[in-house]
Amino acid sequence: MVSEYMGDYSEYTHDWYVVQGEAVMVTMAIQIFAPHGYPLLKAIVLQPFTRWLKVKTGSAVTQTQLNEAFEGGEFEIDTRYAFILNFTFIVLFYGGGIPVLYLFAMLNFFITYCVDKLLVVRYLDQPPMYDSALAASFSKLLPMAVILHIGNTGFMFSNGEILRSNPFNENLSYLLNQIPTVGPWSYLNWFAGRFLTRWNNVLITFTLIVYIIMLLFYNQLKKLAYVQNLLVALGLKFLATESEITLR
């Protein structure tokens, strides 16, 4: 699994940044422009040429065929969402160690906005009225991207060959070093050594823990809200009003 996103390396070493990191940067730089090439070419060049060819050759002999020739095509919102989601996850995953990816993301989102607006307003058919289901599904995945971002950033920063750091606390470091290195304890030993004993990672670890707790607390609130709404539906509103949650 590690090889899927780190190549032949098990650490974010200097060689990883030279080989794999550069490959990630080049790929993401290409992805800023690549997804927009074919939609623009199709809308600005291919469709007008096809339309002109049908009119000149007389192949469109009925009104229906003429209407079809002048249709711009459907806006592929699912494909555009997929591009944005893919770009977002990759940037957040590697951005801690390769900060230029944040600039790439800004450029990508700006260009995507401009291209999509141009296509929808000038060239494509009027899209249908979409509901919020797709946007809601997209937003539900973003917390996972944030967790991956914070976790992988901490893993990158904890490499002593790249960023040297003094121990956060000598006594704490001594206690954590007593964790066994065999069996399931080895994972806890690895996590403690990388995330809990270094000054440059303490704040990142604290942020990750607080964020996960907030997500869990938010989910519990939603579950509790459902219970409150159920009490209201059952006519037990006097029990539901004891909660400070706003009922819908």
CB 91 within 8 A of CB 83: no
pLDDT of residue 216: 81
pLDDT digits 0-9 by tens, 3-48 = 455 667 777 888 888 889 999 999 999 999 999 998 888 888 888 8
Decide if 198 contacts 158 (C-beta within 8 A).
yes
Which position has the higher pLDDT, 169 or 128?
A: 128
Q: Residue 101 in contact with residue 107, Cβ under 8 Å?
A: no
pLDDT in tens, 97-145: 999 999 999 999 999 999 999 988 888 877 778 777 888 888 888 889 9
CA–CA dist 140, 144 (Å, integer): 8
**Which tens digit of pLDDT belongs to each residue from 230-239?**
667 766 565 5
- Phi-psi map region of 129: left, alpha, beta (phi>0 left; psi -120 to 50 alpha): beta
